[in-house]
A and B are shown apart, each in its own frame.
Chain A
Amino acid sequence: MVELGREAISAIVISSTLAAYVIVGLVASRRVKSGEDFLIAGGKLGYVPLFGTYLATYFSALSMLGWPGDMYAFGISAAWIGIFWALGAALTVLVARKYWYYRQLITPPDFMTARYGSKLLELLVGITSFIALVFGIVTQYIAMGIAWSLALGRSYAEGILITTATMAVIIAAGGLVSVAWSDVLKAAVFLIAIYGGAAYIFTNAANPVDTIKRLATTNPSFFDPFRVYAPFGVAMLFFMWTLGVATHAQYLQRITAGRSLRVTFFQYTSWYFVAAIYVTLLLLAMTAKVLFPTGLPAGWSRDYVLPALFYYHSPPAIYALFLAGIVAAALSTADSVIQLATSIFIKNIVELARGRPFSSRARLNLGRAISFALTFLVGAAAIARPAAITYVAGYAWGLVAVGYFAPVFFGLYWRRASKTAAILSVLIGWVFFIVAQALALAGRWTVAISPAALGSMAAVISYVVIALMTKPTPPPVESSPR
C-alpha cells in the first residue's frame, strides 16, 4: 500500500468536503425560484436545514480557535463567555416565540418598520448591520486561509481563494436555501471533527480525569474562575455576549425562515450538541495545558492551540479532519453572514432608497450578483489584510449587538415600547460604544467594561427611561397571535 503523506491526506479530506458543500448547495438551489426563496428561503425551511444552518452559523471558527486559545492561556475563567453565549441563546428562544408573528418579514431590519413604523430606524439599522456584518466576517475568512496553509503547507492566499470560490458558488446558486442545506453538511463535519478528534486524544494521549487531577496539582491557577475577569467583569459579559447573541440579525433571520413555529423552535435543540462541544473544547484546552505546560512549540500562536494538539498528538488523518472542521465552522458562518448582508443590502438599503421594491425576479438576479461580488470582495480584503480591516472589525460585533437588542426585545415584550425610545436608544448606544471603542483602539480605555458591553447597557437603559417618558407605539394588528 502506498503511504500517503500528511499534506496529501489533508488535501484529500479538505478538498472532498469543499466539493461536497458545493454539490449540496447546487442540488438545493434547484428549489430556488424567486427572490424571496433567495433572500429568506421562502420562509419554508424544514427541520433538517433550519437545525443545521442555525447550529453551523452559531458555531464559528472563533469557538474552535480563539476561545480554546484563551482557555489554554487563562484557564477556566476564559470559559465564562460560553455560559453567557448559552444564556443569549435561551433569550433567542424567547424572542422567537414572539418574533414569529412577524414571520412575513424578509430581513431583520424590516422589523423596525413593521413594529415601530420607522423607515429611518430601518435604514439606520440596515446600513450599520450591513457594514458590521461584512467587516466582522473577515476574521472567519482569515481562519479558513490559515487552516488551509496549516493543513497543506500551501499559501494562505490560495486557501482564501479556494474557500471564497466555494462560498460564492453556494450563495449565488441558491441564497439561503443553498446556504442552509450545505450548512447541514458543514455542521456534520465539525461535529465529527470535534467529537472524533477528542475521542482519539482522550483515549490515546491523555485521559480527562487524569488531566484535571494533574492540572490541579501542577497548575492550580488554571482553575481560578476570576483570573481574567473580576466578578464585576463576569457580570458585564452579560451585556456584550448574552444580549449580543440573543437578537443577532443572523438568528432573527432564521426565526422567519422556518416553515412553522414548531420547526423554528426545534432549531435551538441543537444546543444539546453545543453543550457537548463546549465541554469537549474546555477539556481539550486542559489537555493541551498538560501536554504543552510551558507554552506551544515554536511557530504555533495561542489561537492555534487545538490544531497544535492534534498535530503533535494524533495521526495525520485526525489532524486533517480537525482542520476540515475549522474550515467547515468558518465557512458556515461566513456564507450565512454574506447571504444576510446581501439580503439587507437589497431590501433595507437599495429598495428603501429607491422607494419601492424590486420584482421577485430582479431580487433573485440582484441577490446572485451582489452576493457573488461581496464574497470575493471580502476574500480580497482577507488576502490584503489592510490595517483598516482590524480597525472596523473591532466595531463589528458591538454595532450589531447595540442596534438590535433593545428595539427587538422590548418591541416584542413590553407594552410601553415606543418609536422614540427605539431610535434614541440605538443612537445613544452607538455613541457610547463608538467613543469607548475609539479610545480602546487608541489604547486609552482602561475601564473594566468592554466598549460593546457599555454600548449595549446604554441602549437598554436609555430605551427603558425614554419609553417611560414617551407615548407607547402600539404593535401592528397582524402581529398578534393567530
Chain B
Amino acid sequence: MDPASVGIAFIIALAVACLIPAVLATYLWIKTPEGETRG
C-alpha cells in the first residue's frame, strides 16, 4: 500500500475506534428507561 493510503486508513481507524464508545453509549442511553434514578 502506498503511504498516503496507509495514512487515510489510519485516520479512519482512529475515527472508528472513537465512535465505539459514542455509539455504545447512545444505544444504552436510548434503551434505558427513565426510572433508573439514584433514590
Contact = CB atoms under 8 A, between A and B. Distances in A.
Contact of B29 (A222, A262, A279): A262
Could you say which interface size class chain B belongs to?
Answer: 20 to 34
Interface in B1-39: 2-4, 6-8, 10-11, 13-15, 17-22, 24-26, 28-29, 32-38
Contacts, number: 113
A90 B4 contact: no
A212 B9 CA distance: 12
Interface stretch (A78-86, A290-298, A328-336): A78-86
B14 A83 contact: yes
A43 B36 CA distance: 13
Interface residues of A, number: 45
A260 B37 contact: yes
Contacts of A89: 20-21
Interface stretch (A135-143, A266-274, A361-369): A266-274
Given A216-B2, A275-B19, A260 B38 contact: yes
Contacts of A97: 28
Contact of B3 (A100, A220, A275, A279): A220
Contacts of B18: 82, 86, 271, 274-275, 278
A103 B28 CA distance: 17
Interface in A54-100: 76, 79, 82-83, 86-87, 89-90, 92-94, 97, 100
B3 A93 contact: no
Interface string A36-65: 000000011000000000000000000000
A261 interface: yes
A213 interface: yes
A93 B10 contact: no
B6 A93 contact: no
A282 B13 CA distance: 12
Given A86-B20, A268-B21, A275-B18, A262 B3 contact: no
Contacts of A216: 2-4, 7
Given A216-B4, A222-B3, A260-B34, A278 B22 contact: no
A259 interface: yes
B7 A93 contact: no
Nearest to A275: B18
A266 B21 CA distance: 11
A22 to B, nearest CB: 29
Contact of B10 (A215, A223, A266): A223
Given A259-B37, A260-B36, A279-B14, A268 B24 contact: yes
Contact of B19 (A82, A260, A272): A272
29 contacts: A43-B38, A79-B14, A86-B20, A89-B21, A90-B24, A93-B21, A94-B24, A97-B28, A100-B36, A215-B3, A216-B4, A223-B6, A259-B38, A260-B35, A261-B36, A262-B32, A262-B36, A265-B25, A266-B29, A268-B22, A268-B25, A269-B22, A271-B21, A272-B19, A275-B14, A275-B22, A279-B11, A283-B11, A286-B7
Pick the 6 closest A-B CB pairs, nearest first: A275-B18, A268-B25, A261-B36, A271-B22, A216-B4, A223-B3
